[in-house]
Chain A
């Protein structure tokens, strides 16, 4: 099976702009989670979607939003970008067994200038 794919791999934006990141999970996986990775804060959970519904949300401002489509693909949007939003954004696809095993994509490196 193909792994989790994320597009684009790299993005450069300026403050105040908005950005949309895309994630395609492993075939058959219906749950997608998003994480932010920064040198200062480490890996932090953003939100999780299952069957097009957000089921869990981390402690991030409302500028961070997401959605999931009927084919399980997910998008994450960040509006009014700030310098501190520069990070590696990782998408994870959860296995269909009863464990919480998550498989990660390569990430999107967002740089805000």
Chain B
């Protein structure tokens, strides 16, 4: 069965510092991988996705993630945190076999200190 693990329910960084949010997955087949962001009282916004091809994926708002099959990881990074990045971030996986069901991690709340 597929699963997603996000290490750290809360991550705190200073404004301007590197953001690193960790995501590991387990999947018996090559997966599709996604990062979503959720601001308070809102739905989920797609940040970026990996389906096939280049393993370094660039998304919106300066975020990027690297798919590492050998480590079953898909960590999210941003070189310089901004106050507006404070939100909850979810990593998700699907099997890519037309099941169209996303399995989500438990989420990481990013706090940005001024």
The segment out of B17-25, B42-50, B70-78 that lies at the interface is B42-50
Which residues of the other chain, A, contact B92 by a CB distance below 8 angstroms?
43
A contacts with B, residue count (CB < 8 A): 27
Q: Could you tell me if A101 and B42 are in contact, using CB atoms closer than 8 angstroms?
A: no
B43 touches which of A48, A55, A56, A107 (Cβ 8 Å): A107
Q: Could you tell me if A101 and B46 are in contact, using CB atoms closer than 8 angstroms?
A: yes
Which residues of the other chain, A, contact B99 by a CB distance below 8 angstroms?
56, 100
Residue-by-residue, is B15-51 near A (CB-CB < 8 Å gives 1, otherwise 0)? 0000000000000000010101000011111100101
Q: Could you tell me if A48 and B100 are in contact, using CB atoms closer than 8 angstroms?
A: yes
Q: Report A's interface with B, CB cutoff 8 A.
A: 4, 6, 31, 33, 35, 42-45, 48, 50, 55-56, 58, 90, 92, 94, 99-107, 109
